[in-house]
Each structure stands twice: as structure tokens, then as C-alpha cells.
Amino acid sequence: MSVILMLIASVCFATMAAMIKGIGSSLPIPEIIFFRSILPLPFFLGALWLQKKKLVVTAWKTLLLRSLFGFLAITGFYYALAHIPLAISVFLGKTQPLILAVLAPWIVGEKTSRSVWFAIGTGLAGIVLILDPSLGWTAAAWASIGAATASAIAHLLVRKLNRTDDPATIVTNFFIVTALLGSLWMGPSFIMPDLDQWLLLGGVALFSTIGQYLMTLAYRMEYAPVVAAASYSSIVFSVLYGYFFWNEIPPSSAWAGGFLIVAGSFILLRSRI
């Protein structure tokens, strides 16, 4: 059952990414982040109230850091989606577990084994293939890698937060802070969305929230490596969306690089079983 939930969550995340790509550069990135954060907020606040949980985290300094890096990750990911093929952006985003493994010894004190270093090396080789000169070594590709790095740091900070605070409170506070950061950055550049853009923004908030919820359920029901393996199905759905909506076909070097990144991630998962 957990694998099915993760597959559905992967469809939701791929759909969310496709909708963000659909919005493209027609709306400022901080505006997209603002609506992506503010629209699901009533749901999370209501859930906290019904469950009588704390509204504010105890480790608020760590929460602010987590929110800052999460905000940077979302910004880089959204920028990449607007400027490079959907599948390539998702391939590069899948480097996050490998980057996390590199950073873990310094942030949470985890030891790095030989198998983990081999997994990291495999993933780096995949990045080199994807960032082939024929693809331009674009700023958007580097933004995608930067987003994966910021996401890895954010996930490590969440590990620290989980020692002191409830996950529901952490997520709710994250949405509040990112909505605030988005509104401050947006400032006078706000553009009133048209009907199509409102539908896409609503879809981004809806599918990201459903995906997050189903992913959380999946990880509670099954051993983490099994669920994580199922999450890579999002690559397949992203390739399909890219092909059918934007006629995007990743070059052979991107496929080879993506394979190495996924292989590195699976080696990393096996090293932790």
C-alpha cells in the first residue's frame, strides 16, 4: 500500500512541476511561491487546531534557517522549470539525496562510508553528463543543482527540528515564513493572475499539498528505502508531461546522466538498509 501511495504522490509532484512550467515566466517567482504557500495554509492551521497542537515551533531559530533554505530551493527549482526541459530539471533535482549525504557529516554528524562516497561519485558523473556542453551549461541548470543543495540543507535542518517539534507544526510554520518571504520579495512587482493562471496556481498548491501528505503517510507505513525507490517514478511522469505538452525529448547524454544519478541514489539507499 505504501508503494501505491508513493506512486500517487509522485504523480502529484510531477503534475505540480508541470503546472509551474506552464506558468513559466508569466508570473514573478516570488508571487508563485507566495500563492503556493498561502493557499494550503488554512488547511494546515485547521489541522493543528483540531488536533490541539502547538502553532509555533520551539526551535524557532532552526525553523527560520530551514525556511530560508527551503525558500531558496523552491526559487531555484521554479526558475529551472521555466527555462530548461522538465525532465532535465527533475533529473538534476534527484541529486538531493546525494548532496545530503555529502553535507550530513558537517550538519548532523553522520559518518560517511565508502559505499556512500561511491554513490556520490556515481551521481556526480551523472551531473557531468547532463551538463554536457551541448546543453549549454545554462544558469537554469545550475539553479536546479543549487536548489537540490538548498533542499538537502533544509532536510537536514528538519531532522534537527523533529527532535523538538511536531512535523505538522514544522510544516505550518514553514508555509507561514515562505509566504512572508514571498510577499516581501514580490513587493510592487505583483501581477494579477488571469483565470488560467489562477487555475494553475490553485493546482500547484493542491497537488503539492496532496503529494506531501501521501508521501508522509507512505513513509510512516513502510521502510524508508522502499518508499524512496518508488519516489523515482516521478521521473517517468515528468518525461511524459514534457513530451506531451512541450514536445521535449531529453538527449541521450541526459538519459545516461539521469541513470547514473538514480543508480547513485539506489546505492546510497542500499548502504543504509
Domain boundaries, the chain: 2-271
pLDDT of residue 197 exceeding 90, the answer is yes
pLDDT of residue 76 exceeding 80, the answer is yes
Indicate the pTM of the whole model: 0.82
Q: Residue 260: which of 141, 148, 125, 100 has the closest Cα?
A: 125
CB 171 within 8 A of CB 211: no
Percentage with pLDDT > 70 across the chain: 85
Residue 24 is placed in which grid cell?
Answer: 513559466
Distance (Å, rounded) from C-alpha 66 to C-alpha 267?
27
Tens of pLDDT, residue by residue over 185-196, are 887 788 999 999
pLDDT of residue 139 exceeding 90, the answer is no
How far is residue 236 from each of residues 4, 58, 68, 88, 214, measured CA to CA in Å? 15, 39, 30, 12, 19
**Rounded (10°) CA dihedral 58, 62, 63, 66:** -160
The pLDDT value given to residue 271 = 63
Residue with cell 523552491: 74
If phi > 0 it is left, if psi is from -120 to 50 it is alpha, else beta; for residue 172 that is alpha
The pLDDT value given to residue 220 = 60
The pLDDT value given to residue 68 = 94
Distance (Å, rounded) from C-alpha 200 to C-alpha 20?
7
Q: Residue 245, Cβ neighbours under 10 Å: how many? A: 12
**Rounded (10°) CA dihedral 12, 15, 17, 18:** 180
The helices-and-strands tally (H runs, E runs) of the chain is: 13, 0
Burial grade of 118 (CB within 10 A; 0-12, 13-18, 19 or more): middle
Percentage with pLDDT > 90 across the chain: 23
CB 132 within 8 A of CB 256: no
